Structure 1
Amino acid sequence: MAQHYLVCGTEDCKRNCQFYCNPCHQRLCERCRDEHQESPDTKDHEVVPYKQRKPQLPEEKCNLHPKRNVDILCKDCNVPLCAKCIFMKEHTGHQLDDLEEKYAEKVAFCRSEISKIQVYYLSTSQGLKKEIKEDVMEIKKIMDEIRNSIRAEADSLKELVDKVTSDKLEEANKIEETLLKTLNTQEKAYEDYTEYLEKLLRELHSYKSVANFKIVFSDDFENLKIQSIPETTQPVLPVFTAGQFCKDDVSKLLGSVNFPNTKPDNRRIKPMETASTQLKLTGKQTRRDVEKSDVKQTLSLSSSVTKVREYTVPGVDNVYHISLGKSDRVWASDNTGNLVHTDLKGNQLQKIKTSGTDGYHTVTQDGDLIYTDRKNKVINKIKQNNTITEFIKTGDWEPISIHSSHINGDILVGMKKGGEAKVTRYNKTGKEIQNIQRDNKGRELYRYPHYITENINGDICTSDFNKRAVVVVNKSGQHRFSYTGRGSEFWPLGICTDLLGHIVVCNGLYANNTPDIIDQDGQFLSLLLTPQQGIRPYGVCVDDENNLHVGQYNTNTVTVYKYLQ
């Protein structure tokens, strides 16, 4: 059957709905969203992606004034009111809230609790249940080994040990039965807990319904809490102690099955904070970080480079810099200040005019884009709802390049003022916390830091065109090394790092038109591409699949390569 999709709420518009105007409670497609924000009457309205919409307050008639709808919440009485109710004596002096805002908070709470259950409680309990099944298999394996050991000794003693062998096997069977009984009980506990969570999920989903509007303000709802995951213990595995052959003590000869003197460990339940990082990006390790760590163990530089795909960035003349966002979205810019948001199919999502030319934009941990405005000496932020705000003022310094740390969310900015240059570190809220300008002998580190990035070890890697070097300092600002290429023609352009700590820098413009790969200590490893391949690289970045995106300065086509194996 064909699946119905949500359509735009604008009259006579049948396009797919992607956005939502919270003040108007109207569904919007991308085109109608743009018209809505350009209209003088609605340009200040809050327009968000549809999934981030605020729920519309259902029409509920006031009990005391049936011709009016409730739209106010008395905080002291915790009851919905209409505008006429607030003048009643029993609510005089009480604190009042916008009912629609409070209702949105309640629904948001439901969504949050649903996410916790789906991401943490269900997955964790199911993981523990899987662990129990693995323990069952391990118990069976250990007990098989023990039974084989018992039989091996029994065979060497022939008929004399047959009776004792039977007794020992029975003892082993009883131990296995006891262990499996315990594990079955634990498994049943998690099955019951899973049923409870699924019931709670259905209940929370029901609270989002308009029909249950009043329930979300009840005491039962306020006291709603998720029960903790049951604690269970891992089984202590029995071991077999071999005996000594002796006709007088058959029982001792065949050994015994017993438990080591070890206290059983509680099954490891990951803390809620770990799961919370899967709901939103923070400076802590996420599941993707864990997956990357696992992948890192098996990755290495490939002996050959494979072209994966190409995509075109509309609205730019060339691709000087690339910032990868979420959901296969890309920000790309050229040398004339055009900054374009696009997907990998070449569909333009947004375009703005800036004063930047080189590595002047980056995507933050929250998924927002920040970019430098050299002309006005500020750093701007573009939120995911496409609103642009001023984020950081840089004073007398002209911001050139920028990078948002994947480690802790800090913001690194390459700047210049007259004949001076420096790198400044801000925290994710925009507070200045570090300035890096000279080495420990007082010599200038930078002249024109037009691209900047951070390596996995915290090193700050800067492509400095005027010094014709990649300047690398540690996270404390101490100079580690400068890479100046392998010959006289080294003009560093776009720069990025990968999961293995490799530094990829474009050597182009007047030179060999190749991306150089060096390790995190500055040693040259290889040329990623050769001039014969016809690529003129300028901007580079690595995606989550460890592919390298290469933008060029003679075309608006970006080529994607796989260079790790």
Structure 2
Amino acid sequence: MDPRAQDVILCDLCETDPLQYCCEHCDINLCTDCVSKHLSDFSKKHEIAPYHLHKKFTPSYSKCLKHTDEDCKLYCENCDIPVCSTCALFREHKGHDISDVLEKLGSKKQLIQKDLEELENKISPRYKEISSAVQTEKAEVETNYGKLATTADQQGEVWHREVTAIVNKRKADIVETKTKHISVLDKHTDEITHRMTEINQVILEMKNILDTNDISLTSTYKSRNDEFNKLPPTIKVTLPSLSTPTINTEKLNEMFGSLTLLSVTTVGSLLAAPRLTATIDTGYNTLYNVSCLSEDQVWTRGFSKTMKLLNLQNKLLTSIQTKSGNAPEDMAVTRDGDLVYTDYHNKTVNLIKNKKIRTVITLQGWRPCNVCCTASNGLLVTMYSNDLKQSKVVRYSGSTETQTIQFNDKGRSLYSSDYQEKSISENKNLDICVADSEARAVVVVNQSGKLRFRYTGLPSNTKESFTPVGITTDSLSHILTADYHNHHIHILDQDGQFLRYIHCDLERPLGLCVDIRDNLFVAECNTAKVKKIQYL
């Protein structure tokens, strides 16, 4: 057996594509494209044959488990296994699609070759990039945590200096207080000593009087005992004390500062090649919008008063007509699974619950355009003034207006005023993203309405300028917007950096939405089809 039969064999000429044929005379393996090139050499005799018929190719057939004396030379396409002729003609594989096992071997090897090339050239390098990025991040982690430890040491040194200064001040106060205490006692001692000196002097005088018979000296004696019986006051000085309150460790930790909690987020990656997984034919002449109810059910709207709920098998599950009979301007599914739609002509926003329509917002002087539901189960509505000279975004909680977003810090309008598509979506970081088609920009403001960035597409060789229409966001805070005239989707990160395009043979993409598993649904305007695309 040719040992190469166990491996993917490449063409000997181009060394790129898998072989399909061989030249018996020249003993060379050839792909389909290189056969004609090989035959153009008229200096030699050639004999081209399919490789599996090559005389040096001796296939190793597996034995049938039920007919041990027969080789499995056939292949059951239904069951996707090699089978013997008896099983294929008379047993459980009878009536199934049967092919030659060697032909299947060739196609399988082509698939293996394709998978091998994808693994070697696309998938494996991306894993290496990710691994390299992780190693780089680990090095950064070591550096950053080292900086944190240094910061803690520096903070400790500051505290040590402050504590040392406080201790030294307390000790200086103690010395000063002690000096004052001693001074008071010294003064009291001096007073007592002076009295004792006086008493000793009086005692000597009294003894002299007693030792003499001098009448004059005796007659002038005045007793001072009453004076001396008045003892000097006792001075009571209370010793000072140093208060040592119990240290509040919690308060001390708070004063010292704290380390924020470690936050680990698993970030999904974009597929190298987004793939189409389903197509829904909506039956509209023109399709404008799609909104996900679940992974396999979507609401759709076209140039019609009727909104349709369809599944992935093109089955109509239910349909609802607008209250006014006007075509809805936009629609969105709430967190509770209800449907909201805007009616431009009668200036209302309406809620459909249990197939009953209730008007929740009626505007005065303004007309609603696009709508989206927020994480707090409120609504964000883009709208125009009746004279089409102003546009703004208004946030609602129920029927109550809670926020208006219209101007930037310089008082200039954030959005174009012309009556054009202004699809809106709230991102996971609570940014508000608007696809302003007339301004040819994606305008993103934060939760408080402050402008974060404007994305105006990439410089390219496309014939048409960037025209963002539909917009949506996913669980990773990606921003996806439909470029109507250039037939593709732009994927941005939450800071407006372009990541990649999604093509998937799209034609006039308009409305966008994602389901809970981040599958993208695209409403194609002209074909009136919804395409489900996996891109993560």
Structure with max Cα Rg: 2
TM-score for the superposition, normalised by structure 2 = 0.47
